[in-house]
A = this chain, B = another copy of it.
Amino acid sequence: MFEKVLANLKLTNPVVHCITNYVTVNDCANIVLAVGASPIMADDLEEVADITAISKALVINIGTLNQRTIRSMIASGKKANQIGVPVILDPVGAGASALRNEAVKSLLKEVKFSVIRGNISEIKAVALGSDTTKGVDAAVSDQLTDNNRQEVVAFAQKLSRDTGAVIVITGICDLITDGQQTYLCQNGHSMMSRITGSGCMLSCVIGAFVASGENVLTDTAAAVCAMGLCGEMAYQESVGTSTFRMNLIDQMSLLSDEHLQRGAKIELL
């Protein structure tokens, strides 16, 4: 699997519209460029539909949402749905505030998502109206482990069927499901949780892969493996967390399909 994913991406060079937080937006733009796509960040209500209309994917990240940008997210999501542009949701910090919970509810009601990606706390908050999210990091008790794997898989599959979106739960082990087929990805490195933006960047990379691909489930799985694999390689040459972050984007810019296929640690459940 994952044949020519990156080659196709570089060939088609799709525009990816990102409405995202101001914390990690630079890394998001750079990693979208690194994999061969063209990012455009635009969040004003007066222009988001225009920007979505020239894009091949839309990524909505609620990391630093506000009342102005929530309206823009919904408007761009609706436009994307109208014209068949896939939409990715990154519900950063869902569960941490009433505003985030309400925004996620509105987004799910108004917009059909192709992919929803978060850590397990965020995805649980999306699904359950849970308020257990610890800031934007996954609470330890919410980790996907061998003990609760069956339960988490069933939960994700149900959410996928309920929303119609591919669900991605990232953590030590990553899960990707379309409600029928479920992949587990073992790529990645613990350093990825010591920088900001690993999740945000992945959501944008998913956007880029889906924009140029033909199968949302496998394109998303490819993006998850690619990110994790680059995290592993980035660690090799890192001094601390900041060199790690730089190396992560470097590795994404260097990754080939051959390398991705060889390095992906993915299994179909």
For residue A117, CB closer than 8 A to chain B, the reply is: no
Question: Does A85 belong to the interface (CB within 8 Å)?
Answer: no
A38 touching B137 by the CB < 8 A rule?
yes
Contact A64 B43 (CB under 8 A): yes
Instruction: Give CA–CA (A34, B27) in the complex, Å.
Output: 17
Query: Once the chains bind, are A197 and B242 in contact (CB under 8 Å)?
Result: no
| Residue A170 at the chain B interface, CB threshold 8 Å | no
The winner among A38, A242, A246 for most chain B CB atoms within 10 A is A242
A77 close to B (CB within 8 Å): no
In the bound complex, residues from chain B placing their C-beta under 8 Å from that of A44 are: 65-67, 99
Let me know if A243 is at the binding interface, CB within 8 A: yes
Binds B, one of A16-24, A122-130, A161-169, A258-266: A16-24
Q: Does residue A241 face the partner (Cβ distance < 8 Å to B)?
A: yes
Q: How large is the interface on A (under 10, 10 to 19, 20 to 34, 35 or more residues)?
A: 35 or more
- B residues near A54, Cβ cutoff 8 Å: 96, 134-135
A98 to B63, alpha carbons, bound, how many Å? Answer: 27
A44 to B65, CA, bound (A): 7
State whether A23 touches B33 (Cβ < 8 A).
no
Residue-wise interface mask of A (221-263) relative to B, using a CB-CB cutoff of 8 A (1 in contact, 0 not): 0000000000000000001111101111111111000000000
> Nearest B residue to A38 by beta-carbon distance?
B135
Write the nearest CB–CB distance from A195 to chain B, whole angstroms: 6
Q: How far is the CA of A39 from the CA of B196 in the complex (A)?
A: 9
A22 (CB) vs chain B CBs: closest residue: B22
A92-115 residues with Cβ-Cβ distance < 8 A to B are 93, 96-100
User: A60 at interface (Cβ–Cβ under 8 A)?
Assistant: no
**CB pair A23 B41 closer than 8 Å:** yes
User: Residue A194 at the B interface, CB < 8 A?
Assistant: yes
Bound form: Cα–Cα A98–B27 in Å? 27
Contact check, A196 vs B30: say whether CB atoms are below 8 A apart: yes
Asked if A206 lies at the interface with its beta carbon under 8 angstroms from chain B, I say no
Jot down 8 A-B pairs with beta carbons below 8 A, ordered by A. A15-B135, A21-B41, A34-B242, A38-B136, A40-B96, A44-B99, A194-B253, A246-B246
